[in-house]
Amino acid sequence: MTVIRNKLIEVSLPLDAINAAGAREKSIRHGHPSTLHLWWSRKPLAVARAVIFGQMVDDPSSVPEEFPAPEAQVVERERLFGILRELVLWENTGNEAVLEKARAEIRRSWRRACADNAGHPRAAELFDPERLPAFHDPFAGGGALPLEAQRLGLEAHASDLNPVAVLINKAMIEIPPKFAGRPPANPEAQEKLAGGAAWNGKGAEGLAADVRYYGKWMRDEAEKRIGRLYPKVEVTAAMTAERPDLAPYAGRKLTVIAWLWARTVRSPNPAFADVEVPLASSFVLSAKKGKEAYVEPVIEGRGYRFAVKVGTPPAGAKRGTSAGKRKAFKCLISGVPIPYDYIRTEGKRGRMHERLMAIVAEGMRGRLYLSPKSEQEAVVGMANPAWKPDCEMPKKHRNFQGPVYGLNNIGDLFTSRQLVALTTFSDLVGEAQKTIAKDALRAGLTSKGSSLAEGGTNARAYAQAVGVYLGLATSKLADLSNSLCRWEPIAQCPRNLFGRQAIPMIWDFAEGNPLGDRSGSWSVVVDGVGKAFSKAVGIVKPHWVGFAQQEDATTQSVSCDRVVSTDPPYYDNIGYADLSDFFYVWLRRSLRSVMPDIFGTVAAPKAAELIASPYRRGGTEAAERFFLDGMGQVISRIAEQAHPSFPVTIYYAFKQSETRQDGGTASTGWETFLEAVIRSGFAVNGTWPFRTENSSRLLGLGTNVLASSIVLICQRRSSDASLGTRRQFISNLRTELPDAVRLLQSGNIAPVDLAQAAIGPGMAVYTRYAKVLDASGEPMTVRDALALINQILDEVLAEQEGDFDAGSRWALTWFEECGFAEGEFGRAETLSKAKNTSIAGMMDAGILISQAGKVRLLSPQELPPDWDPRTESRPTSWKMVHHLIRVLETEGDEGAARLMQVMGSAADIARELCYRLYALADRKNRSAEAHTYNTLVRSWPLIAELVRSMESVQGKMLDLDGSPS
């Protein structure tokens, strides 16, 4: 039997610090691994790193031989929290000193596990103190989890059914260690080295340098072959006469950044049936202050032309020819409506075309917007693509709008010129590899050995490795070089197609110049790919190997004896296989010879993809059954195979809330997922809510969307688990949940996250039993168990009211009923007697005002700014909380710290009050008030740290004065 100690993640985490780091990371682009290649629903590295650290490091409470007293455990836990708070910061992603501290803690806990299990029958295999267990993620996706496991010193294994995901993971964890520390092989770098220059690059920086070098070669070669299709635009005298602002450019030929097109259909007005009119959602080109520009359509008889104007756009320019969501568009010439049904019919008949609206060129101080020129439009007709992707898109799927308008095939999403460019770059990937292999031989790599796919590290394998990143760059370029890219008038650049996990319909689109050096160009994309894997992957060591392979999660055996953390798909939220076909067709063309196994099929595998897709399964019920049966198989395999000393962590995201018959809310997806986990033999020992959205999305209108991901901490349930009764379950909940909640609060969990985090210890009680039987002898459902956990959590928070003073207890009850609105004096007076206080006394205490038979609590904004708790005759936790809120809003963290310092130890009770206030405001749907209390608790650690700094400075000043400190 395996001896298991509780891990940190099963007890407590500095959740707020992790969430803050994860949310911040969403705004970081340059050098982030996510910029290597797009993948949907990729988890922040900070969260992945924290979860893996937490599931591998012992909690101090499980190490009584070193930390026997609860006080010592608290101190040690805070030390580990300090490591975690440093570890999750983006600035420390490649900080070896910080990372090594984390690795040392992992190794320390591992040695304890090995000593505990020295007598295990498989000790030699499972518990070698000199070798950490390997890591596996069976739904590796974008690779955040395997990458962070590798960063923490583990051998990382990534598997996924989707070939695009497998390639991304190979590029993240498998290829960089193979060539770690090598200088670039390109002739330019080798010439410098031969001349005595030293190579100081770390990790995969040499590989990245070659990606940039040969990427530039590809760009130059592409310009020789297709440069004629991307001509410069000449500023003529006629143009400057119409636009005096163009005078400095007269006679010059400018590089085009983008061509802006509008789709067209024949006018539905019979009088203009021979005229193709534009479907333009906006005529605004630049909304940047001081540099505004727009398109003005000029009607000329039965036709029209587009003229670009500078200055503030007229009122209607923002709408283009749009007539509103329901009415779609209107005919530019006659004004008659152009409904969506008409556009769909025209599109399916092949009668939807494009017309050039404007040209964006490179000016001396930014973008120049020019009217369309006939020769610029005519050059597109010279593009004759030799190849076009042939891959059908789903015709009945909410996330694929193209087929409704006749764009049935992925190849239909590109203009002829874009197809020529992408095909050219795709073919150049293979040509570049031949040159790279020759250069690598000259740089000292051997000619002997196997290919990259076979694990080789010779010249051929190196050339293929560089080719993988160039192939990924070609695929990324496709995301920016298609006819579904918007023009962004504020950033003034093309936006990539995949702003979300869908292929929407775009009416006016931006065609970037892949041969330029601005947004949307090949050069920018290649540079981003190089930064993504060279800098952000961190210090890559050759012995930290990684492996990525294509496997079906329902049948895989890679998890055997490994630490498992995984982020599985969520029902039908994202159709990964259908979406990834957009990239797969280009990657297959570029890299089939490099990775023949994963690019052997015409499209990404879909039959076994584990999502609840109604259109693929023949209906919603069949799709849900397929998903749940498959997910049950996946979790059962993980439960059977995962290393016995570590919990398994599984990410889950809510799909939506549904109203129950009793008027409450529930998430069917969440409950059925928990049911699948429990049926698979797992006990759930914890649940942590992690936010993976930008900070602006952290608090929306409803709290159901605050935490985008829940991480379940699972351990194999004991084989001799007994049956339990509903009464036993409730009794144990009432015994164990209060301590668990206090521990969560002591870790400063945000009030908004408390209910989700409390599910963990609650489900730990529920899953302790083989089954919990209700009064009729039937097994209790997960839904009923969750309802009881929530009910008893409310009781726990209500019981904490006993720690508050009488005035605060009265204010809590009144707040639940009225908030900060007025209520009847009689009701308030009756309630005050029940709480052993009085209205007059609370008026003296400054909690409320009473006049004209009404009573109202004072809001934070109404409290006096000169309040000093040291002179307070009737101190209350209520006033402390709301004065802290007032000062935090007006003077920030430092002002709140000055006030908290004066409050002393009484502030701790005030923090507990915030949890209760948040719960009441949330229940009453008072989102603004809930936000206020949640913000104060989230700010508490920083405020407390400022208090400690102030006290330290004051102590030093006393020492300098010669006074006792």
Q: Single out the residue of 805, 631, 646 nearest to residue 713, CA to CA.
A: 646
Say which DSSP state 501 is in: S
- φ, ψ for residue 643, nearest 5 deg: -60, 130
Angle subtended at Cα 607 by Cα 603 and Cα 610, rounded to the nearest 5 degrees: 110
pLDDT score, position 744:
82
Q: Single out the residue of 512, 516, 480, 489 nearest to residue 255, CA to CA.
A: 516
CA torsion 857-863-868-871 (nearest 10°) is -50
Q: How far apart are CA 918 and CA 916, in angstroms?
A: 5
CA distances from 361 to 256, 705, 822 (A): 4, 42, 62
Residue 508 near residue 145, CB atoms below 8 Å: no
Mean pLDDT across the chain, nearest whole number?
90
pLDDT digits (tens, 9 = 90+) for 801-851: 778 888 998 999 899 889 999 999 998 998 888 888 899 988 988 899 999
Residue 645 near residue 680, CB atoms below 8 Å: no
- Amino acid sitting at position 793: L
Q: What are the structure tokens assigned to 843, written together?
A: 């008026």
454 contact partners, CB below 8 Å, separation of at least 6: none
pLDDT score, position 248:
95
Q: b/e for 389-413, b at 16 or more Cβ within 10 A?
A: bebebbeebebbbbbbbbbbebbbb
Residue 804 near residue 913, CB atoms below 8 Å: yes
Q: How far apart are CA 939 and CA 360, in angstroms?
A: 46
Q: What are the structure tokens assigned to 269, written together?
A: 């007005």
Residues in the chain where the model's pLDDT stays below 50: 538, 654-666, 693-707, 964-965
Q: Single out the residue of 51, 152, 157 nearest to residue 711, CA to CA.
A: 51
430 contact partners, CB below 8 Å, separation of at least 6: 467, 590, 593
pLDDT score, position 962:
52
- Amino acid sitting at position 641: Q
Run of H or E including 565: strand 563-566
- Residue 655, Cβ density class (10 Å: 0-12 exposed, 13-18 middle, ≥19 buried): middle
Q: Single out the residue of 525, 519, 513, 516 nearest to residue 477, CA to CA.
A: 525
- Amino acid sitting at position 771: K
Over its C-alpha atoms, the chain yields an Rg (Å, rounded) of 32
CA distances from 495 to 258, 357, 479, 487, 930 (A): 11, 17, 9, 6, 36
Residue 17 near residue 47, CB atoms below 8 Å: no
- Amino acid sitting at position 923: R
What 3-state class would DSSP assign to 687? strand
Q: How far apart are CA 667 and CA 661, in angstroms?
A: 13
Output the pTM of the full model: 0.86
CA count, 13 A, side-chain hemisphere, 82: 8
Q: How far apart are CA 687 and CA 145, in angstroms?
A: 18
pLDDT score, position 646:
97
Long-range contacts of 809-812 (CB under 8 A, 24+ apart): 809/835, 809/837, 810/835, 810/837, 810/842, 811/842, 811/847, 811/848, 811/857, 811/876, 811/878, 812/878, 812/913, 812/916, 812/917, 812/920
